[in-house]
Amino acid sequence: MLKKFIKRKLRNIISNEIERKSRSLYSGAFYNINVNGDLVITSGNMLEEEDKIEEFLFQALPVFSVTGQEDWNYYAKDRNSFIFTLLSIAKVNNVELYARVKRNRVKVASENLEKIDNLIKTAKCFELKLVFLDISFSKIINVWDEVLTNGRTYSVLRMNNLEYKKIDTDLLMEATKDKEVNAKLINKHSTPITVIENLPVDIVYTWVNDKDEDWRRMLIENVTNKDEIDWDRFHSIDELKYSLRSIFLHAPWVNKIYVLTNCKPPEWLLKDNDKVIFVDHIDVFPDANVLPNFNSHAIESCLHKINGLSENFIYFNDDVFLGRNVDKSLFIEGNKTSKSFLEPYGMVYGSLSTDNPDYLNASLNSKSLIESEYSLSPTQLHKHTPHSLRKSVLEELEIKFKDNFDLVRSAKFRTINDINITSFLYHHYSYINGRSCLGSEASCLVRESNIDKVESAIKKREYDFFCLNDGGGSSLNNEYHNKKIKLLNSLYSEKAPWEI
């Protein structure tokens, strides 16, 4: 107990220093891996660094197929995806992995994969050890576009107290050339900075007004069977007005707000305002022959083509609202990395089928792209929250998967061949490539079945975001709509400056 107390005190004293660790920080605890049938990672003996290990396993969750989860037990479908996944996550987090079968212990590394496979393929079970080399130093960010100031190159460091500091890159190399980090040298020559304080962040909405007569005419003219129109997807009770008010009220740092649509602007919007900018589909779709388009997957594939859009932006559906004051840091890391809010469970399994919901087929197609590129099988969807995105990553995705982008854009309505970029593909692709990280938020998905239960918590500002969702025919439920309108009026009664 005395040792633990002293260790805790020392950590507090050096909380602003970078502390290099070349040993395990949790007393050598091992995870038992059962390779009979499905692989199992059990939470085992986590001791001192329980939170860090749980975070590591949680990060591993979205990038390989999880067939079941109970407490902190994970089940992967096959040995290869398991090894590749952990190796990928380990690189991002500066974690060394060691596998042990009986007395044979080997480091899990790219050059050792064949040796690892031979070691474990006949074993009934083996042990996996996570060695956190340096929990604070693993957060060093050598990005920020290699900052140039007065002819000198600087790197940005994320300290273990979540502060950011700037240091001359040559000095950083000098301070980290040995196994032990020279924390004194780094602290002496680094200066605190706020990386995203002045970062412009735009918001993009996709929007439909089902009461727009011209839009309804286009829809009827292009649909094959009028009875197959899913009005839940298009139904509007002026949610956009209230969602915009929520941004005005709770996120004054937002730069520009773009509304991507093929409908006329609403009557309540000031025409000459320079904050909320309406963008027509024709301005972003590369091929005008696919217009008009009513496929949200196709429309979302063009967000990054909005002229003047900031590198970091946040994508909103008009049924998503800010529930309380939020900061940029909720959506974006200090090095401009976007944060993804993934569902805590996996649900993207099975095969393509016309019986599947449209979003599931699109996720399965997106999952196949990740599998073909990285031999990893993501299973988690993004939550019904705002989506933090980067324009450069979307441009990169379009280049890499051009045929898939062209195919989804060519479909006026959702098809079995779609991909869903903003709710699945972007987040797993960027995460695997170290361009995004997992975020943490408080949110609520509101449906007609639970609106009475969650209304009080929403009014008490207990959520960062909430979504007033339509589905299952709820667009015909007037009682539900009246409850939504009453709730929105109680929360966002004040007009925004862009309203008449």
Domain shared by 149 and 219, yes or no: no
pLDDT digits (tens, 9 = 90+) for 249-300: 999 999 999 999 999 999 999 988 999 999 999 999 999 999 999 999 999 9
Q: Is residue 103 part of a domain?
A: yes
Phi, psi torsion values for 191, nearest 5 degrees: -125, 140
Domain shared by 147 and 239, yes or no: no
Percent of the chain with pLDDT over 70: 62
Give the pLDDT confidence score for residue 318 in this predicted structure: 93
Report the greatest alpha carbon distance in the chain.
Answer: 77
Domain shared by 348 and 215, yes or no: yes
Q: Is residue 105 part of a domain?
A: yes
With cut-offs at 50, 70 and 90, classify the pLDDT of residue 3: very low
Q: Is residue 28 part of a domain?
A: no
Strand ranges for 185-286 from DSSP E: 191-193, 201-206, 257-261, 276-280
Domain shared by 372 and 474, yes or no: yes
With cut-offs at 50, 70 and 90, classify the pLDDT of residue 354: very high
With cut-offs at 50, 70 and 90, classify the pLDDT of residue 81: low
Least confident of 217-231, 257-271, 418-432: 217-231
Give the pLDDT confidence score for residue 70 in this predicted structure: 36
Domain shared by 411 and 289, yes or no: yes
- Decide: residue 320, CB within 10 A, 0-12 exposed, 13-18 middle, 19+ buried: buried
Average pLDDT, integer, range 365-382 = 91
Least confident of 111-125, 224-238, 244-258, 330-344: 111-125
Least confident of 168-172, 278-282, 287-291, 438-442: 168-172
With cut-offs at 50, 70 and 90, classify the pLDDT of residue 47: very low
Task: Please tell me the total count of domains within the chain.
Answer: 2
pLDDT exceeds cutoff 90 at 24: no
Domain shared by 98 and 213, yes or no: no
Give the pLDDT confidence score for residue 232 in this predicted structure: 62
- Alpha-carbon 95 to chain mean position: 22
Q: Which domain holds residue 147?
A: 85-135+142-158
Average pLDDT, integer, range 145-172 = 62
Bridge partners, residue 107, by sequence: 98
Give the pLDDT confidence score for residue 245 in this predicted structure: 97
Q: Angle between the 451-459 and 478-491 helix axes, to the nearest 10 degrees?
A: 10
Domain shared by 295 and 381, yes or no: yes
Helix (H, G, I), strand (E, B) or coil at 46: coil
The pTM score is 0.68
Q: How far is CA 224 from CA 83, 216, 299, in A?
A: 47, 14, 20
Q: Is residue 25 part of a domain?
A: no
Least Cα distance to 497 among 207, 249, 209, 202 occurs for 249
Distance between CA atoms of 80 and 113, rounded to whole angstroms? 9
Average pLDDT, integer, range 151-175 = 67
Domain shared by 465 and 371, yes or no: yes
Mean pLDDT of the chain: 76
Q: Is residue 178 part of a domain?
A: no
Domain shared by 263 and 409, yes or no: yes
pLDDT exceeds cutoff 80 at 28: no
Q: Of residues 281 and 71, which shows the higher confidence score?
A: 281
CATH assignment of the domain containing 400? 3.90.550
Distance between CA atoms of 377 and 363, rounded to whole angstroms? 11
Q: Is residue 355 part of a domain?
A: yes
Domain shared by 154 and 216, yes or no: no
Give the pLDDT confidence score for residue 111 in this predicted structure: 63
The answer to whether the bond into 292 is cis (omega within 30° of 0) is yes
Q: Is residue 52 part of a domain?
A: no
Domain shared by 343 and 262, yes or no: yes
Domain shared by 123 and 206, yes or no: no
Q: Is residue 470 part of a domain?
A: yes
